[in-house]
């Protein structure tokens, strides 16, 4: 349940007075999501998303995220920019939290994408990377490779309480990824860095929304595709690889940016890195979120299984 901060009807009605969006009709908390508090807001003029940024999103990062959304929106990408108030401001404060009123996009996020849907999503990522070619603001990746070792050490041997041997398994995988990582030799750009199926809205086979840009940053462009591959091409438990979905993502992305031989050679390492990143953030949450908390803890082991897939691919390529 992702409503951490309650917004009273009175406070919301007063907040909406800053905008040219009509009068409040209704507001409902949105259960999906884990980072922020989200409400679906209906007014006499339309439908909006109200997001209150909780502790994981730094207020200082919001101008970067909003500038990126405005840039992509201007280029015709299906992203939800923040609505400007009458004074032209996008970032506000509500109930003591940074808050934005955001354009509502239609569509649903999929649990089991088909190859055709993966094709549309890979195409959308390629179009997004093209569109940021002239986007100049930068933001370091707050979950980039430099952060994995410190997070691994902070999780420590407690990870063995999640699964026996997990600390050593992830430690060895991290050693290998750090040794093989050639980030300095790969193209960088603004990336989404979390384009999971739940962050892509679709109607049928058409992408209607790319949302949740709150990990967006400047990092290796193909790493964004690798993150997407780890998130889309496996069943929820992370065991079964769906080659048709994985290949559709890459083929459609390549319509915009064909992978160079070097990028292809690095892809398994980038994907293994992505698996470590999500296994570690999930393990940290698993160890530090009380079992009875309202937030749904995501399974770190699903990402450990995916890691094994990429390791096996690497071995296959080297024999
Ligand atoms: N602009 C939008 N248009 C329509 N629905 C949205 C929009 N933004 C968020 N949502 C809905 O809210 C849910 C949670 O949003 P998300 O940004 O993923 O939250 P969190 O950052 O907390 O993970 C999404 O799964 C989607 O259902
Ligand atoms: N996609 C990440 C967690 C981030 O959650 P989101 O709801 O903000 O996408 C994961 O699955 O571990």
Whether 30 lines ligand 2, by a CB cut-off of 6 Å, is no
| Ligand 2 geometric centre to CA of 316 (Å) | 30
Whether 295 lines ligand 2, by a CB cut-off of 6 Å, is no
For the record, the structure tokens of 245 come out as 């979905």
Cβ-based neighbours of 259, under 8 Å, separated by 6 or more: 222, 250, 267
Under 8 Å between Cβ of 39 and 3 = yes
| pLDDT, position 1 | 47
| Backbone dihedral angles phi then psi of residue 251, each to the nearest 5 degrees | -60, -40
The CATH number given to 115-318 is 3.90.1200.10
**Of 92, 108, 123, nearest to 7 (Cα)?**
92
| Ligand 2 geometric centre to CA of 194 (Å) | 7
Looking at CATH, the fold of the domain delimited by 9-103 is given as: Phosphorylase Kinase; domain 1 (3.30.200)
CB-based pocket (< 6 A), ligand 1: 2, 30, 32-36, 38, 49, 80, 102-105, 109, 198-199, 209, 211-212, 214
Question: Order of strands across the sheet with 37-43?
Answer: 24-29, 37-43, 46-52, 97-103, 92-94
Radius of gyration over alpha carbons of the chain, in Å?
A: 20
Sketch the domain layout of the chain as residue ranges.
Answer: 9-103, 115-318
Chain-centroid distance, C-alpha 301: 19
How would DSSP label each residue in 85-141? -TTS---EEETTEEEEEEE----B--SS--HHHHHHHHHHHHHHHHHGGG-------
Complex-level ipTM: 0.95
Question: In whole angstroms, what is the distance from residue 214 CA to residue 61 CA?
Answer: 8
| Backbone dihedral angles phi then psi of residue 199, each to the nearest 5 degrees | -105, 10
pTM of the prediction?
A: 0.96
Q: Point out the ligand 1 atom lying closest to the alpha carbon of residue 214.
A: 21
SS3 188: strand
| Ligand 1 geometric centre to CA of 167 (Å) | 33
For the record, the structure tokens of 306 come out as 């995916």
Q: Point out the ligand 2 atom lying closest to the alpha carbon of residue 281.
A: 12
What are the pLDDT tens digits along the chain (319 aa)?
477 889 999 999 999 999 999 999 999 999 887 789 999 999 999 999 999 998 889 999 999 999 999 999 999 999 999 999 999 999 999 999 999 999 999 999 998 999 999 999 999 999 999 999 999 999 999 999 999 999 999 999 999 999 999 999 999 999 999 999 999 999 999 999 999 999 999 999 999 999 999 999 999 999 999 999 999 999 877 679 999 999 999 999 999 999 999 999 999 999 999 999 999 999 999 999 876 666 678 999 999 999 999 988 766 766 5
SS3 37: strand
How would DSSP label each residue in 40-95? EEEETTEEEEEEE--TTS-GGGHHHHHHHHHHHHHTT----PBPP-TTS---EEET
């Amino acid at each position: 349940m992702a409503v951490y901060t309650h917004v009273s009807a009175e406070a919301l009605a007063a907040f909406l007075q800053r905008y040219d969006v009509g009068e409040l009709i209704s507001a409902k908390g949105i259960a999906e999501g884990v980072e922020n508090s989200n409400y679906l807001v209906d007014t006499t003029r339309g439908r909006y998303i109200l997001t209150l940024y909780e502790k994981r999103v730094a207020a200082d990062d919001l101008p970067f995220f909003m500038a990126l959304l405005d840039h992509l929106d201007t280029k015709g990408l299906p992203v939800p920019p923040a609505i400007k108030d009458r004074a032209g401001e996008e970032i506000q404060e509500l109930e003591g939290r940074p808050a934005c009123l955001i354009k509502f996009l239609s569509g649903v996020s999929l649990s089991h994408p088909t190859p055709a849907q993966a094709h549309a999503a890979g195409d959308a990522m390629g179009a997004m990377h093209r569109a940021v070619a002239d986007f100049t603001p930068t933001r370091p990746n707050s979950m980039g490779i430099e952060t994995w070792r410190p997070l691994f050490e902070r999780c420590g041997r407690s990870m063995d309480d999640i699964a026996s041997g997990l600390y050593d398994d992830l430690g060895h995988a991290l050693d290998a990824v750090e040794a093989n990582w050639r980030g300095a030799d790969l193209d960088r750009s603004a990336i989404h860095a979390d384009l999971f199926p739940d962050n892509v809205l679709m109607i049928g086979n058409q992408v209607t929304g790319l949302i949740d840009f709150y990990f967006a940053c400047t990092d290796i462009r193909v790493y964004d595709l690798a993150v997407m591959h780890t998130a889309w091409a496996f069943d929820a438990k992370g065991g079964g690889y769906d080659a048709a979905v994985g290949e559709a993502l890459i083929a459609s992305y390549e319509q915009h940016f064909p992978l160079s031989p070097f990028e292809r050679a690095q892809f398994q390492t980038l994907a293994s890195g992505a698996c470590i990143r999500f296994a570690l953030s999930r393990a940290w949450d698993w160890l530090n979120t009380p079992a009875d908390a309202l937030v749904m803890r995501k399974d770190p082991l699903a990402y450990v299984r995916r890691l094994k897939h990429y390791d096996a691919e690497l071995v296959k390529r080297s024999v």
